[in-house]
């Protein structure tokens, strides 16, 4: 991108997300815990039960990093290992007249841009948003020629998804531990996926197989040329569907030694359209079916192709 934009621009990468909800619990101060225990000993049993319930809720909200009981207030933290990246970005932005946020054009990219703006700080008016779906000279120069603003609807959509990840996982997993077994986990996506798998498995187990047979005839033209295979689909006015080997053998016996005539032929024009461009899911399906690639390998290769300017953005 530096090559396309020129020497007036400094291009730096955040290497993905720089900020997120807490990724681990914080160790409590031993002195504070001792003082808290001393206070609770003075409470009645009813007061202790109420206090423990409130404390458990407070600890859960602290671990989640988002409080559903307080207008979904979130506590974001710099991700471990991203401290030096953030320091460099803050230092470079301090002397820049304009900061262009050129993250990916999906909701995750929009959220990364918002977190960068919030973390770097300074006058919000100096931040501009640029989006492009291919890394080519024309696409990048066009994007920087007409920058826009952050799309807060996309940012909020990403935050809603992230909050639900935490709330569903943190609220439901302990319920599974109490009701089913320790170590189980619930999730916004995985719990729904498990239900779909279970429902499908129940349908499979409830299925009652029915025996049926098919018959085929390999027929030649007069003179023994151009052999073609035909399937028997009707016998008289009824569909041909033997339900036992005896019925199938009887049908084959009736067919042997008969002569067959093409009574009617119908030609229809057909038109084949090219496949639609890949979206993320169809790209992954095709790579798995044709090449045996895992999802991770497919997206890693697609990312490299995108960064090299060979394909358009692959998460659409």
For residue 202, how many C-alpha atoms fall within 13 Å in the half-sphere facing its CB?
A: 6
CATH number of 1-22+65-208: 3.40.50.140
153: which 2 tokens? 């609807």
Burial (Cβ within 10 Å: 0-12, 13-18, ≥19) of residue 157: middle
* CA–CA dist 10, 165 (Å, integer): 35
Most distant CA atoms of the chain, gap in Å: 106
* CA–CA dist 30, 87 (Å, integer): 32
| Helix, strand or coil, per DSSP, at residue 27 | coil
Go through 124-155 and write b for each residue having 16 or more CB atoms within 10 A of its CB, e for each that does not: eeebbbbbbeebeeebbeebbeeeeebbeebb
Question: Is beta strand 216-219 parallel, antiparallel or unpaired with respect to 228-231?
Answer: antiparallel
Please report, in tens digits, the pLDDT of each residue of the chain (316 residues total): 888 898 889 999 999 999 999 876 565 567 777 777 777 777 777 777 777 878 888 888 888 899 998 899 999 999 999 999 999 999 999 999 999 999 998 999 999 999 999 999 989 999 999 999 998 999 999 999 999 999 999 999 999 999 999 999 888 888 888 888 888 888 889 899 999 999 999 999 999 999 999 999 888 877 767 888 989 888 888 899 999 999 999 989 988 878 888 888 899 999 999 989 999 999 999 999 999 999 999 999 999 999 888 999 988 7
C-beta neighbour count of 274 within 10 angstroms = 5
Question: Is beta strand 216-219 parallel, antiparallel or unpaired with respect to 127-129?
Answer: unpaired
- Domain ranges in the chain are 1-22+65-208, 216-255, 278-316
* CA–CA dist 227, 217 (Å, integer): 10
**Catalytic positions, please?**
313
């Amino acid at each position: 991108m530096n090559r396309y934009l020129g020497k007036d621009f400094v291009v730096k990468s955040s290497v993905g997300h720089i900020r997120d909800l807490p990724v681990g619990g914080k160790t409590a101060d031993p002195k504070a815990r001792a003082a808290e225990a001393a206070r609770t000993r003075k409470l009645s049993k009813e007061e202790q039960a109420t206090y423990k319930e409130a404390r458990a809720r407070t600890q859960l909200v602290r671990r989640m990093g988002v409080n559903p009981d307080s207008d979904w207030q979130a506590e974001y933290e710099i991700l471990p290992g991203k401290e030096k990246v953030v320091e460099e970005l803050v230092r470079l932005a301090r002397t820049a007249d304009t900061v262009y946020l050129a993250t990916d054009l999906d909701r995750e990219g929009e959220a990364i841009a918002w977190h960068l703006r919030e973390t770097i700080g300074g006058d919000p008016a100096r931040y501009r948003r640029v989006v492009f779906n291919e890394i080519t000279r024309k696409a990048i120069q066009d994007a920087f020629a007409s920058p826009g603003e952050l799309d807060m609807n996309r940012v909020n959509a990403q935050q809603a998804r992230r909050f639900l990840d935490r709330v569903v996982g943190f609220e439901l997993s302990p319920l599974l531990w109490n009701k089913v077994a320790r170590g189980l986990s619930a999730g916004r996506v995985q719990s729904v996926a498990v239900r779909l798998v279970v429902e499908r498995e129940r349908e499979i187990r409830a299925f009652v197989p029915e025996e049926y047979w098919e018959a085929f005839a390999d027929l030649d033209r007069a003179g023994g040329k151009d052999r073609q295979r035909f399937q028997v689909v009707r016998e008289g006015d009824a569909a041909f569907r033997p339900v036992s080997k005896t019925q199938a053998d009887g049908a084959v016996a009736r067919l042997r030694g008969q002569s067959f005539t093409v009574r009617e032929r119908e030609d229809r024009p057909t038109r084949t359209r090219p496949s639609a461009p890949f979206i993320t899911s169809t790209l992954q399906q095709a790579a798995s079916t044709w090449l045996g690639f895992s999802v991770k390998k497919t997206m890693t290769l697609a990312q490299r192709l995108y960064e090299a300017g060979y394909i358009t953005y692959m998460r659409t």
